[in-house]
Amino acid sequence: MMKILTSICLATMISLGLMIVCTIISKTTIMDREKMSPFECGFDPKSSARAPFSLQFFLIAILFLIFDIEIAIILPMIITLKCSNIVSWATTMTIFILILIIGLYFEWKNGMLEWTF
């Protein structure tokens, strides 16, 4: 119990120390119009630096992350196949993949996967 309390106190003190050092070291900048504007070799910018972000690109990126995490979850499940009950393992895998397929179907039917400008 004493080791846990010591570890917690040490982690808290290190965190607080780092926050204090970062606050002392960091300098505040004065925000004015010249510093906030984008720099293009001394010339005025030709277009706005704050270009609109494509929402479709964001949705495709989120979809990629979901399926990427799915692979990270499925791979360990394949390894546990040897030491688990085959019925519970198959049920878990079927439900997991079914939820992903239903989500993909929902996105497809709502037109979230179509790349339009």
- What average pLDDT does the chain have? 80
> Domain range spanning residue 86?
53-117
Tell me whether residue 102 is in a domain.
Answer: yes
Tell me whether residue 117 is in a domain.
Answer: yes
Tell me whether residue 11 is in a domain.
Answer: no
Q: How far apart are CA 28 and CA 32, in angstroms?
A: 13
Tell me whether residue 80 is in a domain.
Answer: yes
Q: Count the domains in the chain.
A: 1
Tell me whether residue 112 is in a domain.
Answer: yes
Tell me whether residue 59 is in a domain.
Answer: yes
**Hunting for tokens 């979809």 — which residue is that?**
63
Tell me whether residue 37 is in a domain.
Answer: no
Question: For 19-71, how does the pLDDT look when each residue is reduced to its tens digit (9 = 90+)?
Answer: 999 888 877 666 666 666 666 566 665 666 666 777 777 777 888 888 888 88
Supply the pLDDT for residue 17.
Answer: 95
**Hunting for tokens 């990126």 — which residue is that?**
61
Tell me whether residue 87 is in a domain.
Answer: yes
Supply the pLDDT for residue 40.
Answer: 58
Q: What one-character-per-residue DSSP string does 46-102 give?
A: SS-SSPPPPHHHHHHHHHHHHHHHHHHHHHHHHHTTTTS-HHHHHHHHHHHHHHHHH
Whole-number percent of the chain with pLDDT over 90: 19
